[in-house]
Amino acid sequence: MTFAYADPPYPGKARYYPERCEVDHAGLIRRLTIDYPDGWALSTSAVALAGVLRLCPVGVRVLSWVKRPRGRSGWEPVIVFGGRRPSTGDASPWPARLLDVLVYKGRYNAFPGALVGMKPPQFSEWLFRHLGALSGDSLVDLFPGSGAVSLAWRRFVAQDRRDATSSDVGRDTSRAAIGDASPKARADVSRGDLCAT
C-alpha cells in the first residue's frame, strides 16, 4: 500500500513560510483522494478545521495532537482518510488499542533544520500506526520541509525490522512488523501546482 502525508502551510498561514504560497486545499484534497486511495493524512489548524473538513470525502476521521499549550491553541487536528483495516475482522478502520489523541510537545527548536510546523518523531509514529502501515508499504511526504517525517518513517521501518528479527520474548507479537518499505522523500508534485491562484 502507498500512503501520503500532507503538512502544508495551514490556511491563512503562508506568510510564515519562504514561499508565501497559500495552498489550494480543495485541489490538494482532490489529489490526495485520487492519487492515494490506500490512505492519506492531512495536518491543519484548529481554526481552519471546519473549512477543510467541508472539502474532504465522506469517511474521514479527525485525530487530535495536543501540544504544549502556546499561543491561542494547544492542539492541532489531523485528518485521516482510509488506511489498512485491522485484521481482527473488525470493519472499523481504527487500529485496535490506538488512541485518537496524542499528547506530546511540539517541534524541537534545537533540532538541526527546525522549521515552523515541524513534527516530532512521536507524532509521526502515531500517525503511521493510524494509517495501519505494514511491511512493504510506502509513505509519500508531500511537503517534506525539514525531512523530519521521512526520517521518522525510515526509523519506524528500521525499528520494526529489528523487532521482527529479534526474539518474541518481552515483545508485543500482536503488532505486525513493518519491513522493507522504501519511503519516497519527495512527492511527484510541485508546490506551484498546489498554490491557490
Question: What per-residue confidence (pLDDT) applies to 12?
Answer: 65
In this structure, what are the phi and psi dihedrals at residue 41, rounded to the nearest 5 degrees? Answer: -135, 150
Give the C-alpha separation, 180 to 177, whole Å.
Answer: 10
Question: What per-residue confidence (pLDDT) applies to 113?
Answer: 58
Each residue's pLDDT, cut to its tens digit, for the chain (197 residues) gives 999 999 887 766 655 655 667 788 899 999 999 999 999 999 998 888 999 999 999 999 999 988 866 666 688 999 999 998 766 655 555 555 678 888 877 655 555 555 556 788 888 898 999 998 876 789 999 988 778 888 888 888 777 565 655 544 443 333 333 222 333 333 334 445 666 65
Domain ranges of the chain: 2-166+173-194
The residue whose grid cell reads 492542539 is 75
- Residue 73, Cβ neighbours under 10 Å: how many? 11
Degrees to nearest 5, angle at CA 21 with 64 and 148: 50
| Fold type of domain 2-166+173-194 | Rossmann fold (3.40.50)
Asked if residue 80 lies in contact with residue 61, where contact means CB atoms within 8 angstroms, the answer is yes
Q: What is the pTM of this model?
A: 0.74
